[in-house]
Copies of this chain bind each other. A is one copy, B any other.
């Protein structure tokens, strides 16, 4: 887009929002605008901190009038650079962090309305206070904010039972690219009255407007957890094991998290100083591990019996070589800690070239075998740390090798993803880091449709330009 009149816009923004709500570049208070992964420089022309939906609307109206691009920013925990201004252009960052009110919690309605700047753990806490659960569970939930989770359609560890963020949003309030406020906060379970506009904003990564508040779905709060770590002979057992787990636990199945021996080795080698230090719960090494979690509200005994039946049948069928059920909450937490420490162990091992991909459930084993084999041929000796939310077909396929190989490694991985009819971004989105990969992965017609939607809703192109849509 043609750069607009930035100084005029900033002057008007100071008038409209007050001088303390418009931070100059270099202001220490603006230091929160930085790339989570440290891959991208963050040089916003200014950082806006509106305090209300009305102020967000006023800010966007000014930006639209002056054709100044705006990058919406929530918790800043995204992994694809979606909330970081492009380095060489004059872009404003609009932070929603000051919109941080829980507006209402409606127990009877199993719904909660919160502003976009609420930290996810605060939303979870507000639900817990009325005995319910807000089921979005992310590694970054202590700093990720609701608006960002919605803009990126965040996934996480509970998707198997409760769905992606998309499934958890009942209604939205948003400021559109022309500065008008869309009042779409509803808590209806059924509402067939025209195109579902909120679906466009969810996952649009700030390119179609700024989410300012949302009404989200709450669910009964589980009080019982059944957790076990399973040792698998090979990934080909996964589909049968998954079907068996769904048969026994039904919708109580909350998480199925896979990781391999590479991951276990990384944990044992690189995190000896952690308290407690990771410990292999098995007496001998296994090629693959599967963390299973199921939860129940009242029926703790029934849940425990389901776990026992499932493990017995899985063992009898040879799907599982060994299994460690957690006997209490601390043991369950210790098993989860293994899975959750994988990214940190990987980081201490020198980092990795990361891929957040998904494939159809039936293709997981083939995908793992293909990538392992092809990477070994192309990059002899390379280590692959594959882990992830395997119940959703979501693999974090991370390759431990020199960063300068990133382009070639990713090209190989994404080619295998395409062969297996998968997605190059399961849950992290596109942002700026995956734009080129998206251009290759999607059909031209689909890319054209993305641009058609963008042009229709943001004709001036001021909302987060350079993100999500391939150029």
Q: Using a CB–CB distance below 8 Å, which chain A residues touch chain B?
A: 106-111, 152-153, 155, 159, 161, 163-164, 166-167, 176, 180, 182-184, 186-197, 199-200, 202-204, 208, 219-220, 239, 243, 246-248, 250-252, 296-299, 302, 305-306, 309, 358-363, 389, 392-394, 421-430, 434, 438, 441-443, 445-446, 449-450, 452-457, 468-469
Contacts and interface: CB of A to CB of B under 8 A. Distances in A.
Contact of A450 (B188, B194, B424, B430): B194
Contact of A246 (B183, B220, B252): B220
Given A199-B196, A438-B193, A456 B452 contact: yes
B358 A194 contact: no
Contacts of A163: 167
Contact of A424 (B109, B193, B438): B193
A108 B362 contact: yes
Contacts of A219: 246
Contacts of A305: 302
B393 A190 contact: yes
Which of A108, A176, A243 is the most central at the interface, judged by chain B CB atoms within 10 Å of its CB?
Answer: A108
Given A188-B422, A202-B196, A248 B298 contact: yes
A192 B428 contact: yes
B188 A195 contact: no
A184 B446 contact: yes
21 contacts: A106-B362, A107-B243, A108-B361, A109-B360, A109-B362, A152-B192, A161-B251, A189-B394, A190-B358, A190-B389, A190-B427, A192-B429, A193-B441, A195-B203, A196-B200, A247-B297, A248-B297, A250-B252, A299-B306, A453-B453, A455-B456
4 interchain residue pairs of minimum CB distance: A108-B362, A251-B251, A456-B456, A199-B199
Contacts of A454: 195
Contacts of A184: 446
A361 B445 contact: no
A417 to B, nearest CB: 10
A109 B362 CA distance: 5
Nearest to A215: B360
Given A163-B167, A191-B358, A251-B251, 14 more contacts: A109-B361, A111-B360, A159-B189, A188-B421, A188-B423, A190-B392, A191-B425, A192-B423, A192-B427, A192-B430, A197-B446, A197-B450, A299-B302, A449-B457
